[in-house]
Amino acid sequence: MLKTAIINWLLVCTDPELRDIAKIIKETSVHNGQHDPISLECDKVFLERLKVNPRALKMNFWEKHFELDSISCFEEICGKVLDFGCGSGHLDVLLARRGMTVHGLDLSPIGINIANRLRERETQDVKKLVTFSVADVISQTPVGELFDSAWSAHVFEHIADPGPVLTGLQNWVKPGGHLLISVPLGKAYDDPGHVNHFFSAHELYQFLIPHIEVKKIEENHEFHVIRALCIFGKNHEPS
Ligand SMILES: C[S@@+](CC[C@H](N)C(=O)[O-])C[C@H]1O[C@@H](n2cnc3c(N)ncnc32)[C@H](O)[C@@H]1O
């Protein structure tokens, strides 16, 4: 199914940016041959985009994306920022162009290979500010110093149990650091990978509060998202 979708796409695609991404998807899946099931599940996001919404793999789609501005509304998301579940990394490259220091992390090798290709095309100044890696925050710890804050856009609707992820993320961010979570409101942007739907800020609050302190939470009806500003416990000792 994976190969058929890509080959079909390559046959009809005349857009060089998308052809390049389709090639990365094909090469990564051939190279990895023996994907573990988690990576495969994560990789499906990009296949789905290729088939259903290929515009979402193009830089000019992200240049106008509302999440790009949303992060600047939260001054707590600053310093060395971790983007948890960065996907194809388009937003991180654009944030680096604005001067933010950001590291995008994802379980998906396809996502990170696309992100690294985008990074390669940037100037040295931008490259210095943005990096990417494949990692599982649950079982791995960061190489080097902890992040000052973290951001996660459109990820937690894909995660059935946020406990292990939020506990794992504590090991990546400095105690007292903030985490900004953005999820769709209700069934906005729905896709088959969404295992949670949050119909109000209160529902997201109930989902998060057993695992992390929630400082501020708001529904945005213009863009149909809910945003929660959370804070990692000042008393925790990274394990
Ligand atoms: C819908 S995509 C969102 C990507 C990006 N943040 C965006 O806004 O386009 C969700 C991403 O979360 C990643 N993801 C889900 N669970 C994860 C986990 N435990 N660790 C790292 N990444 C994860 C998936 O691989 C996928 O790339």
CATH number at residue 140: 3.40.50.150
Which pLDDT does position 30 carry in this prediction? 63
Q: Are residues 44 and 82 in the same domain?
A: no
State which of 37, 54, 71 marks the end of a domain. 54
CA 65 – CA 49 distance, rounded (Å): 16
At 155-203, the pLDDT tens digits run 999 999 999 999 999 999 999 999 999 999 999 998 888 999 999 999 9
Question: Are 123 and 50 found together in one domain?
Answer: no
Q: Which pair of tokens denotes residue 151? A: 């951001």
- Specify whether 117 is located in the same domain as 20: no
* Claim to verify: residue 105 and residue 208 sit in the same structural domain: yes
Say if 239 falls within a structural domain.
no
Kindly state the tokens that stand for 82.
């971790």
Query: In this structure, are 143 and 175 located in the same domain?
Result: yes
Res 203: pLDDT = 98
Q: Which amino acid is at 23?
A: K
Q: Is 183 inside a domain boundary?
A: yes
Q: Which of 36, 54, 72 is the last residue of a domain?
A: 54
Query: What pLDDT, on the 0 to 100 scale, is given for residue 35?
Result: 47
Q: Is residue 236 part of a domain?
A: no
Task: Identify the helix (H) or strand (E) that includes residue 150.
Answer: strand 149-153
**Residue 237 domain flag:** no
Same domain, 158 and 71: yes
Quote the domain boundaries for residue 42.
Answer: 2-54
Q: What is the pTM of this model?
A: 0.92
* Residues 163 and 49 placed together within one structural domain of the fold: no
Residues 42 and 94 in one domain: no
Q: Which residues of the chain have pLDDT under 50?
A: 34-38, 238
Number of separate domains in the chain: 2
Residue 144 belongs to some domain of the structure: yes
Going from the Cα of 86 to the center of ligand 1, the distance in angstroms, rounded, reads 6
| 65 lies in the same domain as 50 | no
The best mutation among 41, 42, 190 to test binding of ligand 1, ranked by most ligand atoms within 8 Å of the C-beta, falls on: 42
Residue 137 Cβ contacting ligand 1 at under 6 Å: yes
**Residue 217, pLDDT score:** 97
Pocket perturbation via mutation, ligand 1, pick of 45, 90, 155 by most ligand atoms within 8 A of CB: 155
Domain assignment present for 238:
no
**Is 142 in the same domain as 215?**
yes
Q: How far is the CA of 106 from the centre of ligand 1 (A)?
A: 6
Q: Residue 146 is inside which H or E element, if any?
A: none
Residue 95: count other Cβ atoms within 10 Å of its Cβ.
25
> Is residue 181 within 8 Å of residue 208, measured between CB atoms?
yes
158 secondary structure, DSSP code: G
Maximum separation of any 2 CA atoms in the chain, in Å: 55
Residue that is last in its domain, among 54, 82, 97: 54
Judged by DSSP in three states, 215 sits in strand
Within-domain flag for 75:
yes
Q: What ranges in 83-133 are assigned the alpha helix state H?
A: 90-97, 109-120, 124-129
Same domain, 48 and 117: no
Residue 31 sits in the same domain as residue 85: no
Give the model confidence (pLDDT) of 111-130 as tens digits.
999 999 999 999 999 999 99
